[in-house]
Structure 1
Amino acid sequence: MPRLSLVVPVYKVQGYLAECMDSVLGQDYRDFEVIAVDDCSPDGSGAILDEYAAQDPRVHVIHLTENVGLGRARNAGMEKVQGDYVLFLDSDDTLADGALRAISERLDDTGDPEILIFDYARTYWYGRVSRNQRADLLQHEGPDVFSLADRPELLDLLQIVWNKAYRRDFVARHGLTFPPGYYEDAPWTFCSMISAESIAVLDKVCVMYRQRREGGNILKTVSRKHFDVFDQYRRVFEFVDAHPELDRWRAPLFCKMVDHYLTVLERPERLPNDARAEFFHRAAADYRARLPKGFQRPTDGQGRKYAMLERDAYAAMASATAVVKLRQTVRTRTRKAVNRSKRSAMGVFYRSQLRLPLDENLAVFSAYWGRSVSCNPAAIDAELARRAPQMRRVWAVRPDAVDRVPNGVDYVPIGSKEYWAAVARAKYLVNNVNYPDTVVKREGQIHVQTHHGTPLKSMGLDQRNYPASTNMSFAKLLKRCDRWDFSITSNRFTTAIWERVYPSSYVSLETGYPRNDALVNATADDVRKAREELGLSANSTVFLYMPTHREYQRGFVPRLDLERLAEQLGSDVTLLVRGHYFYGGSARLETLQAAGRIIDVSEHPSVEELYLAADALITDYSSAMFDYANLDRPIVIFADDWDTYSMVRGTYFDVLREGPGAVATTQEELTELLSSDEWRGERAAEARARFRQRFCEFDDGRAAERVVRHVFLGEPIAELPPVVPLAERVPAPPTRPGATAGPGAPAADPVSV
């Protein structure tokens, strides 16, 4: 039987759940179990829990068939606990290093008290960490074990359950359970604290309490559901009424009740304006009904608020808060003035366009900061043309890139009047990066963030930990994210990362990446055409080399001696080389291309056609590996600077150990690998299969269709085509019979090529 049982209720936290579970399972203390309760979460949280349970026998998962809320999910977990002590951890929070060992040792040192209270710190999305403001209450003064009567000031701690360890027999003896509602912690916290005969404290931060930017805290939601607080304090006082021996706590609990009511009433992010008077009158009724005999009001400003509640004087209270409202008005006016200043900088013309009605049939697309017509936006554009031909589709393109716009594509040069008119009036704005800060998100507009890859390297807020990788303003980044309505992903791994590093209120669309539809749906004719247009020999083995950008280098510096590699691989091998789009052209690559054995495809308009033409991909840390894996063709990782890259940029997994195929860290190793069958052998195929299972989850060839039908045509997600399981998908045909088959593998059917 474990010493500690942690109950973790889970609902819509896929972006934070892995960090939470890792913080628990990575503790240096081992004698515990985790009861994780999937509260019928609509995202990938349940599947994430199952993965952890499959890897660690200490993790037990309960899948509820309906959403019951935080309190009752905790109850479901408590029914399964086996430990001596029960702890609670919210699934977007984490344990501090060494927390469980410190808790266990303190329990041992204090003779197993009924409750152990430990400390926590608030962690903010912008990097700040702030310890509990009443940490002084947890200093070890006086006896190690005491009752609440000895230290009643402990009631001043925040009304939370997850900063305590509860002896399981104590919980059972007092029949403690969580009620439904927003404020379910209040009855549990107060009833357990006043009932406990033995309490101890631990002056150590054990829980990191995440302050989510995107409103993960339901207490910051404007709603009538905050009236739930009345039911919770009814339960508290019913408990006191049923236990006369606890009557001494009536006055302190009365103060807690009144302070809580006033907090709900005064916080602007909780009650709707038209519900404030009703809430006040109900609070006043509770005040008079539960006023203890001989009660003395506080003598400060809070005491004056008590007096107004006692008299049910809502008008007086409203007048007393006028100053607060005035301050809010000043802040609002200041914000509007700043916005007016920004709009002024955009120009008179743009402001005039913003005043015109939205064009419900106009969609603006852009990709890679206006560099090209490509990627996920291009695939959505093409699908939209097929399904909604009445929609006008316009591309925002940099002036120096308009000559690369395909024939027949309607475009506006970025910065032109036509551009500002389009982004001001379009109903839909689609991009695989962000639109400039000067673009205003209008009410009724829909912004679709398609992204342009699955992340291996750290992104968004995670880049704060790697300052050498960026000089971006994270505050501005988050303002841009706030414009998103939809964020498109191709696997649950990516969904979880985007939701954590780009915290905002958008909806994640797990549709697959539309750009990969072309790979999944490709035919033998598509493969043949891709090779013919590149002038590739029918019998040539073609390796596509696609290295990614490195923050610590300027320009495209090939990590390989490509000319020597081509010579050593022999005349039947062709190297396609595509530099990262940050770099542009390269005189060195042009020289190598002139030699006839290497083709520079850096400026090729369609990377998907390059994928189809290649027998294998050679890359380092580029997101190309995730897309190319949809072809189920060999991928070779050449990572000669992994230690430097992972230190400078930060990565989400070890590509040397969890990559999609064979790995080389020197040119000699790569040459040997490519000269043999190792690059397409059984071990490489096994690694690729694991990689595909993890990262090609939703890319089944119908991603663009799902996006268009849901975002543009308004079809419910439940009515969209279900994702075809990976095992049932048929990858595009290989470039020629047996092109990528490993030793002993059957050759492809020549008819299919």
Structure 2
Amino acid sequence: MPRFSVIVPVHDVQAYLAACLESVLSQSCAGSCQGTGCGGPACDLELIVVDDCSPDGSGAVIDAFAARDRRVVALHLPENTGLGPARNAGLAHATGDYVLFLDGDDTLVPGSLQAIADRLKETGDPDVLVHDYARVYWSGEAVRHEFRVQLDEAGPAPFTLADRPGLLKVLMVVWNKAYRREFLEREGFAFPPGFYEDTPWTYPVLMAAGSIATLDRVCVHYRQRRTGSILRTTSVRHFELFEQYDRVFAFIDARPELARWRPVLFRRMVDHFTSVFSAPGRLPRGTRAAFFRRARAHYRRYRTPGATPKATTRLRHALVRLGSRRGYRAVMAARTGARRARAGAALMARALRGALLQLHYRVQLRLPVRADRAVFAAYWARGYACSPAAIEERVRALVPGVRTAWICAPGHAATVPPGTRVLVPGTAAYWTALARSGYLVNNVNFDRRLVKRRGQVFVQTQHGTPLKHMGLDLQYRPAAGGSMDFPALLRNIDKWDYLVSANRHSSLVWERVYPAPYRMLEYGSPRNDVFQRATAEDVARLRAALGIPEGHTAILYAPTHRDYARPQPALLDPERLLTTLGPGFVLLVRPHPVLGAPAPVPAPATVPDPVPAGRHPGGLPDAARHPRLIDVSAGAGASGAAGPLTVEELCLASDALVTDYSSLMFDYAGLDRPIVLHTPDWAAYAAARGVYFDVRECPPGPVTAGQEELAEVFRSGRWRGEHPDRLRAAFRARFCPYDDGHAAERVVRHVFLGEEGQPPVVPDAGRTPAPAATPAPLFPAPR
């Protein structure tokens, strides 16, 4: 008997069906077969695919999968019956402990069945397990639903619906739950025919369940198709919604113990009626009046004391009760008009505020520059980070006469240290500081409206050694620089007075791709100073904050952004890697900040390294679900920490780095810990973005092109040892000649104090980077 029966009804989804079925068959479940497809009696999965007389090629796709994998049960119905009866046909053949339903154009997220199995075991095999889902749009964007807080796993489990009635706010669909088959058979549940067949299934199931549990993890990707959705088609079959609610209330009436749910279901019913009535394009022309009359009849038939809706919906419900269709439409039109008026007023208010702020800025530009003020920012106001943060800290220590301020979005204000003023972008104080501060320091450009004044000093630090093409070189790389305003870029770089460079390679690139009369400060990377100044105690503190178990090897996985792909390709399966490596490893997963952080605030159109507007999914969703996989993305906090750790802190907490083409490899080399380059898409990346050299020919450590090869590098011990050490030493000598812990001080002494060449560079042999926490490799290193 398998653990799971996954039932997929199919009708006219040939373009999506293969991805759907593959997402199920590629799941790994606990059991003797381990998802190999042997089809034996102990296999933990059966996939029942029901061809509801589909007119396209879906039937052939089903048969191909059934021939390939014995876990697939192919059912071909002789005539089209509809979604509900097709599910019933699959349910009749189910033999698993638990039943899951999946629509033919949706997919299971990798690792979902294992997560469901673990949660079922943890909660004592409840009747129903409700898990999360995400809507996936044609752009690749995945959005979790607004009521996911109802799936919180905190508190006792399992429970009944009476213990958590908020579950009724979650979208009433069949495919976001796992059902104990014995429970379904005992209660005699079956799907009715017609549209909205989920309604008379999900409500009764939740009300009748003796035990319910939740799983706060996205397990299903709910595809939002531009066309083809049944419930968005224009049809008189939307009237079948009334019969479905008749079935819901008949179920309640047959069970007096469920009478308490009538008020709640009544409110949900009326809301459902009004949403269908208001949705454009669902009801055919000439049927809206009849639909509203039916809604009024159902309102009067099932009205229940205690069913008073919230004030915001009370008027809509009253109009349904009165049958005032014209009144309802007038109210909705008035609300739409009011919303538009508010939006217009807000737009005008923003425009007026912007004009007043620019007037304020122009006034401030006529006032004297304050030589004792310095303004810092990094990563488009995302928080206190990178080389500007290292320089700001040294300014406070070495130049106490200068007052510092940090430009920071409100959500990142907690990252700014005490004693440093926080400036919120777009405020009057922000514009005053830009107009009158004597020093401006950033690792990207400030607002393009910045007027560089005589007496102001602009220090540009950049944010990494360039492997990928930058600046003017992006003119020939449309995937990366297609939306870049190059004339505006040149106007921005003309404002720079100093450009901080980490090494000679960077200096040569910067001078060519950012041609302007600034002075190059080839002093090292200030953001890497912490690697030489941190102690073993600092490393232990950071590892404890992240929850890294003592004695475990922590691998930091930090891939870069792919300009050529949206959403980002999944080039590494972290859970499978951890399974291969064994229990002694922990994986810290950090998607590129473009993926793991909010959109830039503000987001100027001209910056040295363009960041696409908005977020692009493609990182590693629900990474923290694996017990040894820790989400350390820019938006994730650390246990015991005030907020997310900086990338430098993550480097200190880790024992090794796995990356691809990220500039983080150049920083990590100065820490003198193992680096492995995972480059499965080198040709595509190099062609789309462009690179200044082939890093595979002079790597800082082993280079892999596939996941199995990457796992073998760690299992064999080749990730560390004499050969990787030699590679890393040569890489460090080339790219980290000045990273001795004093780069920020050299910048401050030159720019703020007018000193030259102080302090001198400590040679590589005299540096003492922070020690790694793991005393020895898990696997012996080759000699």
d(CA) in 1 for partners of 2:516, 2:766: 35
Change (3 A) 1:353 1:579: same
Q: How does 1:697-712 map to 2 (within 5 A)?
A: 697-712=737-752
- Which residue identity is paired with 2:495? R
CA apart distance, 1:670 = 0.7
Q: Does the Cα contact within 8 Å between 2:665 and 2:675 map onto a contact in 1? A: yes
Change (3 A) 1:599 1:640: same
* Structure 1 range deviating more: 359-368 or 595-604: 595-604
d(CA) in 1 for partners of 2:412, 2:569: 24
In the alignment, does 2:689 pair up with 1:645? no
Matched residue of 2:622: which SS? helix
Match of 2:364 among 340, 353, 360: 353
Change (3 A) 1:371 1:482: same
Matched residue of 1:565: which SS? helix
Q: How does 1:27-176 map to 2 (within 5 A)?
A: none
1:353-376 per-residue CA deviation (whole Å, 9 max, x = no partner) reads: 000001111100000011111000
Q: Does the Cα contact within 8 Å between 1:527 and 1:734 map onto a contact in 2? A: yes
In the alignment, does 2:649 pair up with 1:618? no
Q: Does the Cα contact within 8 Å between 1:377 and 1:430 map onto a contact in 2? A: yes
- Which residue identity is paired with 1:723? V
Matched residue of 1:678: which SS? coil
- Which residue identity is paired with 2:626? A
Which residue in 2 is equivalent to 1:25? Answer: none
Match of 2:450 among 439, 443, 449: 439
In the alignment, does 2:738 pair up with 1:726? no
d(CA) in 2 for partners of 1:408, 1:728: 34
Match of 1:592 among 598, 618, 623: 623
Which residue in 2 is equivalent to 1:370? Answer: 381
Which residue in 2 is equivalent to 1:671? Answer: 711
Q: Does the Cα contact within 8 Å between 2:533 and 2:741 map onto a contact in 1? A: yes
Change (3 A) 1:537 1:400: closer
d(CA) in 1 for partners of 2:619, 2:691: 30
1:615-663 per-residue CA deviation (whole Å, 9 max, x = no partner) reads: 1000000010000001111100001100000000000111221111101
Change (3 A) 1:579 1:408: farther
Matched residue of 1:582: which SS? helix
Matched residue of 2:595: which SS? coil
Match of 2:524 among 509, 512, 523: 512
| Aligned residues between the structures | 401
Which residue in 1 is equivalent to 2:588? Answer: 576
d(CA) in 2 for partners of 1:742, 1:345: 66
In the alignment, does 2:574 pair up with 1:562? yes
- Which residue identity is paired with 1:353? Q
d(CA) in 2 for partners of 1:659, 1:733: 22
Change (3 A) 1:641 1:345: farther
CA apart distance, 1:714 = 1.5
CA apart distance, 1:584 = 2.2
In the alignment, does 2:486 pair up with 1:481? no
- Which residue identity is paired with 1:595? H
Q: Does the Cα contact within 8 Å between 2:357 and 2:427 map onto a contact in 1? A: no
Match of 2:459 among 448, 454, 467: 448
In the alignment, does 2:465 pair up with 1:425? no
Matched residue of 1:656: which SS? helix
d(CA) in 1 for partners of 2:415, 2:771: 30
Change (3 A) 1:573 1:419: same
Q: Does the Cα contact within 8 Å between 1:612 and 1:735 map onto a contact in 2? A: no
1:145-179 per-residue CA deviation (whole Å, 9 max, x = no partner) reads: xxxxxxxxxxxxxxxxxxxxxxxxxxxxxxxxxxx
In the alignment, does 2:727 pair up with 1:687? yes
Q: Does the Cα contact within 8 Å between 2:591 and 2:619 map onto a contact in 1? A: no
CA apart distance, 1:674 = 1.6
d(CA) in 2 for partners of 1:545, 1:672: 16
Match of 1:415 among 426, 443, 449: 426
- Which residue identity is paired with 1:363? A
Match of 2:736 among 662, 683, 696: 696
In the alignment, does 2:426 pair up with 1:386? no
d(CA) in 1 for partners of 2:469, 2:709: 28
In the alignment, does 2:774 pair up with 1:736? yes
Change (3 A) 1:740 1:473: farther
- Which residue identity is paired with 1:606? T
Q: How does 1:218-237 map to 2 (within 5 A)?
A: none
Q: How does 1:227-266 map to 2 (within 5 A)?
A: none
- Which residue identity is paired with 2:673? R
Matched residue of 2:719: which SS? helix
Matched residue of 1:355: which SS? coil
Change (3 A) 1:741 1:424: farther
CA apart distance, 1:725 = 1.6
Change (3 A) 1:606 1:400: closer
Which residue in 1 is equivalent to 2:251? Answer: none
Change (3 A) 1:740 1:506: farther
Which residue in 1 is equivalent to 2:470? Answer: 459
Identity across the alignment (%): 50
- Which residue identity is paired with 1:352? V
Which residue in 2 is equivalent to 1:661? Answer: 701
How high is the TM-score relative to the length of structure 1? 0.51
CA apart distance, 1:739 = 4.5
1:564-621 per-residue CA deviation (whole Å, 9 max, x = no partner) reads: 1111111110000001111126797453312211001012331111111111000000
- Which residue identity is paired with 2:433? A
CA apart distance, 1:728 = 2.5
Matched residue of 1:680: which SS? coil
Long gaps (5+) in structure 2: 1-353, 598-616, 635-643
Matched residue of 1:735: which SS? coil
- Which residue identity is paired with 1:423? L
Q: How does 1:158-307 map to 2 (within 5 A)?
A: none
How high is the TM-score relative to the length of structure 2? 0.49
d(CA) in 1 for partners of 2:688, 2:356: 36
d(CA) in 1 for partners of 2:404, 2:565: 38
Change (3 A) 1:596 1:406: farther
1:681-734 per-residue CA deviation (whole Å, 9 max, x = no partner) reads: 33222211111110011111101111111111122x24x122112232223212
d(CA) in 1 for partners of 2:423, 2:722: 50
Change (3 A) 1:704 1:601: same
d(CA) in 2 for partners of 1:454, 1:741: 32
Matched residue of 1:709: which SS? helix
- Which residue identity is paired with 1:348? L
Which residue in 1 is equivalent to 2:544? Answer: 532
Which residue in 2 is equivalent to 1:127? Answer: none
d(CA) in 1 for partners of 2:414, 2:539: 27
Which residue in 1 is equivalent to 2:409? Answer: 398
Q: Does the Cα contact within 8 Å between 1:374 and 1:605 map onto a contact in 2? A: no
Which residue in 2 is equivalent to 1:210? Answer: none
d(CA) in 1 for partners of 2:523, 2:453: 26
Q: Does the Cα contact within 8 Å between 2:372 and 2:403 map onto a contact in 1? A: yes
Matched residue of 2:459: which SS? strand
- Which residue identity is paired with 2:714? L
Q: Does the Cα contact within 8 Å between 1:512 and 1:703 map onto a contact in 2? A: yes
Matched residue of 1:362: which SS? strand
- Which residue identity is paired with 1:728? G
Q: Does the Cα contact within 8 Å between 1:555 and 1:583 map onto a contact in 2? A: no
Change (3 A) 1:649 1:429: same
Matched residue of 1:679: which SS? coil
